[in-house]
Amino acid sequence: MTQHTTATPVTAPAPAVLVLEDGTVHRGAAYGARGARLGEAVFATGMTGYQETLTDPSYARQIVVQTAPHIGNTGINDEDAESRKIWVAGYVVRDAARRPSNWRSRRTLDEELEVQGIVGIKDVDTRSITRHLRSAGAMKAGIFSGDQAARPIAELITEVRAQPSMAGARLAEEVSTDTAYVVEPHEHGWTDEIVATVAAIDLGIKTMTPVRMAERGLRVHVLPAASSFAEIQALGPDGVFLSNGPGDPATAANQIELLREVLEARTPFFGICFGNQILGRALGFGTYKLPFGHRGINQPVMDHATGKVEITSQNHGFAVDAPVGEVLTAPQERFGRVEVSHSSLNDGVVEGLRCLDIPAFSVQYHPEAAAGPHDSAYLFDRFVELMTDASTQTGADTVTPISHDPALTPAPETRGGNPLNA
């Protein structure tokens, strides 16, 4: 007797639409949670590390467009998250993996997005979207899926345009830890005595950053963004660190003033990403919003001290406005001389600052490499040296200015406009 089987019908995915503030519309299928989410549309060029991207607090209130076409292939694991949750406002992918394949995978990316309430869209031409954002700049956007996708487009455009801009956004306190905690060296393979103690201000810190310090024998006290100088002093740290984070550095008045107190006390300082922008403003430089930012794990940076090129991991939409290729007295003259130590080879944007008369330096990129290349791990060693060098603790000037080669300095007129990495 012939047996007949009934095929299970394939359920069509719920519709979704991506709406940009300039009226551009892309239709696709729902991915993750259903609903409506607003944010600033930006693109990230990394071919790997989507879990680290999603959980990077610097992406708060941003809709991330992944240029890599296949996303979700390795699922979600329990080890690679860079914070306590997914921070992106929305997620845009081309081809979402239907079945992840990795020995560490615990669930699909689609499931994780749904559980955490992240609205996404798939089956759209992310390359076309990226080219548009590269030309027109990062802009307000919204993802609308399920029933929300059926609303009139004109209504959705109005809603997108009404949301606040990223310029002027103060977000560090929203993503920072509420309570202080300590990352101990012995928890990360260090077996010798503690080398130094660091007070790390969490402006959106990634998990791997204090781990990289702990691996070098540093005890790291991670403090809330609103911490005071008195609270830092109470710990008696050998150095102070300001982390990455989201938002406009021009709004971080409290952190800027805090850092000025740190610099005046001549406490060794290291900052990355948002911390670099805070150092720039503490020294008296301005900051500005880039047309579409630097986001990816393949960004080339010139180290002006060595002439070497580092391939770096970056995620920033703002930059420090300082001259490249010269030593100058900081606009806040009490902090002495300063120079740009690193710059982008794509567009000349400032990627690092170095103070010559006080123990302080910073970079705009992410040396913790989560995800990304390890070219810049030496910066954590430099921070250790800064704290353990007795001459810097006593205020002696031991820093020699960089001898800049004009041929290696990107033309300043190209700053902020990056024709590559898209």
Residue 270 labeled ligand binder: no
Which is nearest to 44 in space by CA: 154, 138, 170, 178?
138
Determine which one of 40, 273, 342, 355 is catalytic.
Answer: 273
Residue 416 labeled ligand binder: no
Cβ 137 vs Cβ 110: under 8 Å: no
Q: Give the DSSP H/E element, type plus range, for residue 38.
A: strand 36-44
Determine which one of 26, 316, 366, 404 is catalytic.
Answer: 366
CA distance 105 to 196: 36
Residue 137 labeled ligand binder: no
Terminal C-alpha separation, the chain: 60
DSSP H helices, 190-309, are: 208-214, 229-235, 253-264, 274-282
Residue 315 labeled ligand binder: yes
Residue 277 labeled ligand binder: yes
40 catalytic per annotation: no
Residue 58 labeled ligand binder: yes
368 catalytic per annotation: yes
CA distance 269 to 252: 17
Which is nearest to 40 in space by CA: 293, 405, 322, 373?
293
For 14, which DSSP code? P
CA distance 47 to 42: 16
Residue 317 labeled ligand binder: yes
For 141, which DSSP code? E
Residue 341 labeled ligand binder: no
CA distance 45 to 158: 29
366 catalytic per annotation: yes
Binding site for L-glutamine, by residue number, is 58, 245, 247, 274, 277, 315, 317-318
Residue numbers annotated as active site:
273, 366, 368
Per the annotation, binding residues are 58, 245, 247, 274, 277, 315, 317-318
